[in-house]
Amino acid sequence: MDAGTTAVIRQALTGLDEDTLQLLRQVAKRVEYPPNTTLCHQGEVEHVFYVVVKGNVAVVRVLDSGEERILNMVGRNGYFGEMGLIDDSPRAANCVTLTPTTVLEVTEEAFDGFVKNSPPLANLLLQRILSNARNLDRMYIEDLQKKNEALEQAYTHLKAAQVRLVEQERLERELELAAQVQRNLLRQELPQFPDYNFAAYLQPARQVGGDFYDVLEIDGEHVGVLIADVADKGFHAALFMAVTRTLFLQEGRHSLSPGEVALAVHRGMFDVANSDEVFLTAFYGVLHRPTGRLTYIRAAHERPFLLRPGREVMALPGGGRFLGMMPDLSLVEETIELLPGDRLVMFSDGVPDAVNEADQGYTNQQLAAAIAACGPKPAAEMVAYLVKDVAQWQGNAAPFDDLTLLVLEAK
């Protein structure tokens, strides 16, 4: 192991003496991995500890509903999987490379030899791993406290602003104008076809939001179907929603490949944004009307549900990362054949994240049951039924996120 590798170990596990570092040189293995490689597998017992030399690794937890949540991003000098050296607990999350990544690996076998050859130094390494884990927890708590303090300060400023009645009225007027602009951007009447119908619903959590949908008439045979969610709310989300919708409209007329269109939008987002703090989830498909073939990509968006007569409600396969988050992105196109009587229900996370007065989530399982209960309802009635079902669940609870639905009906 070279001096650069030793430096990485020293920075990742600060405080180790030279004797310990010398032993790590003998047991650590340097390995390179391509993007989208899963190093730690959620639910499996694995005994490898990783230190990142270069690249980026996402720590992603898969919930019981099948949704994915990003818990952390690990970059150069970061590490993960340390508990695999000292217990048999299953991994709590998946760790997936986002870019070409080089790591240092210490296996359980190598660590056992380390313990056998030098128990005092192995004990020191264990103490350092546990100490770093505690420090990381402390950092998270401190960060949360700072954010809470910032939120309290912002709330205090908001209350002060509300005292000024004229300023409040001006702000309300600006919000209403922004909401009107956003409503004008979204189609109130979607295009309809002899063989396919569409219906949609959007209710922002605030006066303006970041969700949007569209149905694009590409040519005489192809139709683009889009639903997306900007990871923000308020003015900023509304502005970015307008930008990304325009990008989809522009790029959708240049290509029949959903993957090419989404990647072009992804690159366009980096051209107009100054950071990677604003990103987008999206489901975009191109429907070939004569055959019923729907080719689509899913960029970290909620999985649409397919209701087919005589079958159970099915979530569409496919996965992918957010648009506008990491420069290097690959998307996999999936294809399904829509049959007469099929209904495809696309939705934003504001549907399964809707909570009632007891702070209980609506869940994808409840949505699937409500879809199944719709039976042969046409698209417009189906949207109305699902909106009513979510509203009854929420009761008087305030909406947590924008709620958006888009239904495609094959006749």
Contact between 182 and 241 (Cβ < 8 Å) = yes
Predicted confidence band of residue 14 (pLDDT cuts 50, 70, 90): very low
Burial of 46 (0-12, 13-18, 19+ CB in 10 A): middle
Question: If you write DSSP's letter for every residue of 43-107 in order, what string do you get?
Answer: TS---EEEEEEES-EEEEEE-TTS-EEEEEEE-TT-EE-GGGGT--PPPSSEEEESSSEEEEEEE
**pLDDT value, residue 82:** 75
Contact between 205 and 397 (Cβ < 8 Å) = no
Q: Taking 80 as the threshold, does the pLDDT of residue 59 lie above it?
A: yes
With b meaning 16 or more CB within 10 Å and e meaning fewer, what string describes 291-311? ebebbbbbbbbbbbbbbeeee
Domains present along the chain, CATH in parentheses:
3-138 (2.60.120.10), 186-410 (3.60.40.10)
Burial of 316 (0-12, 13-18, 19+ CB in 10 A): middle
- Mean per-residue pLDDT, 123-144: 62
Q: Taking 60 as the threshold, does the pLDDT of residue 385 lie above it?
A: yes
**pLDDT value, residue 289:** 97
Tell me, yes or no, if the pTM score tops 0.85: no
Q: Taking 60 as the threshold, does the pLDDT of residue 6 lie above it?
A: no
Q: Taking 90 as the threshold, does the pLDDT of residue 388 lie above it?
A: yes
Cα 109 to Cα 285: distance, rounded to the nearest angstrom: 48
**pLDDT value, residue 133:** 58
With b meaning 16 or more CB within 10 Å and e meaning fewer, what string describes 114-144? beeebeebbebbeebbeebeeeeeeeeeeee
Query: Which is higher by pLDDT, 352 or 271?
Result: 352
Query: Which is higher by pLDDT, 26 or 259?
Result: 259
**pLDDT value, residue 108:** 82
**pLDDT value, residue 10:** 46
**pLDDT value, residue 16:** 44
Question: If you write DSSP's letter for every residue of 252-312 in order, what string do you get?
Answer: HTT-S-HHHHHHHHHHHHHHH-SSSS--EEEEEEEEETTTTEEEEEEEBPPPPEEE-TTS-
Closest to 192 (Cα-Cα) out of 158, 215, 170: 215
Contact between 228 and 242 (Cβ < 8 Å) = no
- Residues 220-230 pLDDT 10s: 999 999 999 88
Q: Taking 80 as the threshold, does the pLDDT of residue 258 lie above it?
A: yes
- Residues 167-222 pLDDT 10s: 555 555 555 555 555 556 666 789 999 999 999 998 876 655 678 899 999 999 99
**pLDDT value, residue 43:** 92
Cα 409 to Cα 297: distance, rounded to the nearest angstrom: 19
Cα 9 to Cα 142: distance, rounded to the nearest angstrom: 25
Share of the chain above pLDDT 70, in %: 76
Predicted confidence band of residue 293 (pLDDT cuts 50, 70, 90): very high
Cα 22 to Cα 20: distance, rounded to the nearest angstrom: 5
Predicted confidence band of residue 287 (pLDDT cuts 50, 70, 90): very high
Share of the chain above pLDDT 90, in %: 43
Those residues with Cβ within 8 angstroms of residue 269's Cβ, 6 or more apart along the chain or in another chain: 243, 244, 247, 278, 279, 280, 323, 324
**pLDDT value, residue 121:** 53
Q: Taking 70 as the threshold, does the pLDDT of residue 3 lie above it?
A: no
Those residues with Cβ within 8 angstroms of residue 186's Cβ, 6 or more apart along the chain or in another chain: 202, 212, 213, 214
Phi-psi region of 87 (alpha: psi -120 to 50; beta: other; left: phi over 0): beta
Q: Taking 80 as the threshold, does the pLDDT of residue 261 lie above it?
A: yes
**pLDDT value, residue 398:** 78
Predicted confidence band of residue 91 (pLDDT cuts 50, 70, 90): confident
- Mean per-residue pLDDT, 309-338: 92
Contact between 122 and 115 (Cβ < 8 Å) = yes
Q: Taking 60 as the threshold, does the pLDDT of residue 268 lie above it?
A: yes
Query: Which is higher by pLDDT, 385 or 16?
Result: 385
Count the residues in the chain.
Answer: 411
Contact between 40 and 152 (Cβ < 8 Å) = no
Cα 204 to Cα 379: distance, rounded to the nearest angstrom: 21
Report the range of poorest mean pLDDT among 42-46, 271-275, 360-364: 271-275
Query: Which is higher by pLDDT, 335 or 240?
Result: 335
Q: Taking 90 as the threshold, does the pLDDT of residue 257 lie above it?
A: yes
Q: Taking 70 as the threshold, does the pLDDT of residue 377 lie above it?
A: yes
Q: Taking 80 as the threshold, does the pLDDT of residue 395 lie above it?
A: yes
Closest to 301 (Cα-Cα) out of 359, 345, 343, 239: 345
**pLDDT value, residue 226:** 96
Q: Taking 90 as the threshold, does the pLDDT of residue 366 lie above it?
A: yes
* Cα 225 to chain centroid, rounded: 20
Q: Euclidean distance between the first and final Cα of the chain, in Å?
A: 65
**pLDDT value, residue 109:** 81
Query: Which is higher by pLDDT, 185 or 301?
Result: 301
H-run or E-run covering 345: strand 343-347
- Residues 305-316 pLDDT 10s: 999 999 999 999
Average pLDDT, the chain: 82
